[in-house]
Amino acid sequence: MTQLRWLTGLLGASSCPAGLLELGRAAIAGSLMISATLGSEPSGTKFDPTAAALKEIATLKVQAKDWPQWGGSTYRNNTPEGKNIPTQWDLESGENILWAAALGSQTYGNPVVANGKVYVGTNNGYGYIKRYPKNVDLGALVCFDEKTGKFLWQHSNPKLPTGRVHDWPLQGVCAAVYAEGDKLWYVSNRGEVVCLDAEGFHDGENDGPYVSEPNSNKDEADIIWRVDMMGQLGVSQHNMCNCSITAVDGVIFVNTSNGVDESHINLPAPNAPSFIALDQATGKVLWTDDSPGANILHGQWSSPCHFVLDGQAQVVFGGGDGWVYSFDPKGDGAGKAKLLWKFDANPKESLYLLGGRATRNHIIATPVYYDGYVYVGVGEDPEHGEGQGHLYCIDPKKRGDVSPTLAFDKDGKPLEARRLQNLEPKKGEVEKPNPNSAVVWHYDQIDKNGNKKFDFEETMHRTCGTVAIKDDLLFVADFSGLFHCLDAKKVDANGKPVVYWVHDMFAASWGSPLIVEGRVYIGDEDGDISIFELSKEMNLIGEINMSNAVYSTPVVAGDVLYIANKSTLFAIKEGAKLEGGFKDTPRNDEVAD
């Protein structure tokens, strides 16, 4: 493993057996027939995810057009409001570039904008802090002024002494912050949940209860409290800790990143929590859940979403075992989670192996809520290669095990979930349709051209990316460089989702789409930002290179487009002009011994 770019939050096809595919189709046939009807009938007022996000943002202590967390709201759908968002800009001339701020040498964190400040996670390759020169490896959360791009302060996180098993070199802070009022919360590379003062020490105060900062310099962060998930909860993160926090009613929700050790086989802490809820004001642990347990495949780097449906609030996590879990946000009242439903996002016969040989995957993408449904894709650390992926639309109104199918032993007894493979036909184990299945549709491979085989462009590959949906059009990028456009609700005569178009970007994509002002933006590893019309017809409006790889996701706040490439954060605004154009600054790619 050389780089952990999978964290943004963050693949050659190997087909599933034909019989298994047919069984999966049969298992969800009833749900699909209902869904086809629902998807084709008007449901009153058309759901507007942008309006829904703005309504939620209006309840927070932030500005109306801020984008204060990953995905903007607890729904996690990256569809902000924006006007006159550029589709053309030029780095060299500075056309439509408002400002450019230096980051470290490696950036995976998605920008967050709140109350006049822009936050992004990176490494210390630029060296903003005097006591930490750029050859000192750190996880760095950097804060800039929203209007000017001026550096304000940095929260510096020294690397863990255990080394790369827990804290891979040069990867920095990979999570996005949650910002509200005069505070922000985020997960650091050290496996800590941290609450910071948004003003840093610019307000002349050292807010507590944590008051042990080494100094109160204005270029450094003011810590309010922190929770060490490794030290206090026994978590053993794999390579990196990553989760973009969400919060509701004074409670923050976190995926702990608990995972395997250096062998990629052993689980040092199978009983440690995977999902936790903390008091937003104090960091007190309210409830924990260890459902993935000993079945964690690799790491756990997904982020939760939250919504209320039919009067029941739900917080949904993607697990490192390849299952999706929904809980009552209040817990069970005794310090544990209260499960609402769980969903196996892999075919039962799929097998987990290291590298591209695996057909079983875990979940890095963030579940997204849209108009009564949950959407999520499966993937793997891209350093382990390309492979078959799966994308699901799930009905979250059901309860219990809502997987597409169930597994039974040769005597007809239900099988418990296993880590590497849930079904072994050679042992006489069988798979049966789940009458309680919550699958609305499942996208893996579709023979769109009718040649009776699944071409590269007809396959959903592993993904790190989160879907974005608007006007019932769903967009998602996979790690093999394909950008997919589907109908979020409709299915065809065979019960498969309606795929409108697929575009090959010819470069791996680690991030997620942005939908704004009738257009869709997506970045790739070549540094290109591709811009499409929000349409059932593929219309590539433009492709602009950002001079370095883009591993994060574009966002819009206050009618400004923010894009972080590997080493620079750009603020892009119609009519702006960066005097002298953009001149990149060399970053540090080495660390001190």
- pLDDT for 448 equals 86
- pLDDT for 36 equals 40
Task: Answer yes or no: are the C-beta atoms of 237 and 255 closer than 8 Å.
Answer: no
Please give the span between the terminal C-alpha atoms of the chain, in angstroms, as a whole number: 20
Strands ordered across the beta sheet of 192-197: 178-180, 183-187, 192-197, 223-228
Q: What is the C-alpha to C-alpha distance for residues 346 and 410, in angstroms, rounded to an integer?
A: 21
Write the burial class of residue 507 (CB in 10 Å: 0-12 exposed, 13-18 middle, 19+ buried): middle
Unique residue bearing structure tokens 């756990």 = 300
For residue 136, give the DSSP letter: S
CA angle 135, 567, 168 (to 5 degrees): 55
- pLDDT for 39 equals 35
Average pLDDT score over residue span 363-378: 98
Residue 280 confidence (pLDDT) above 70: yes
Measured over the CA atoms of residue 63, residue 65, residue 70 and residue 76, the dihedral's sign is positive
Average pLDDT score over residue span 406-417: 96
Residue 21 confidence (pLDDT) above 70: no
Q: What is the C-alpha to C-alpha distance for residues 82 and 575, in angstroms, rounded to an integer?
A: 15
- pLDDT for 233 equals 98
Of all residues in the chain, the percent with pLDDT exceeding 70 is: 91
- pLDDT for 10 equals 37
pLDDT tens figures, 192-235: 999 999 999 999 999 999 999 999 999 999 999 999 999 999 99
Strands 528-533 and 540-545: antiparallel
Q: What is the C-alpha to C-alpha distance for residues 344 and 392, in angstroms, rounded to an integer?
A: 10
> 35 falls in which pLDDT band (50, 70, 90)?
very low
Closest CA to 522 of 567, 559, 482: 482
pLDDT tens figures, 481-525: 999 999 999 999 888 999 999 999 999 999 999 999 999 999 999
Residue 179 confidence (pLDDT) above 60: yes
Residue 474 confidence (pLDDT) above 50: yes
pLDDT tens figures, 70-129: 999 999 999 999 999 999 999 999 999 999 999 999 999 999 999 999 999 999 999 999
Residue 1 confidence (pLDDT) above 70: no
Task: Answer yes or no: are the C-beta atoms of 324 and 304 closer than 8 Å.
Answer: no
Q: What is the C-alpha to C-alpha distance for residues 446 and 451, in angstroms, rounded to an integer?
A: 11
Domains of the chain: 51-211+218-572 (2.140.10.10)
Q: What is the C-alpha to C-alpha distance for residues 256 and 259, in angstroms, rounded to an integer?
A: 9
Residue 593 confidence (pLDDT) above 50: no
pLDDT tens figures, 419-462: 999 999 999 999 999 999 999 999 999 988 889 899 999 999 99
CA angle 67, 71, 76 (to 5 degrees): 135
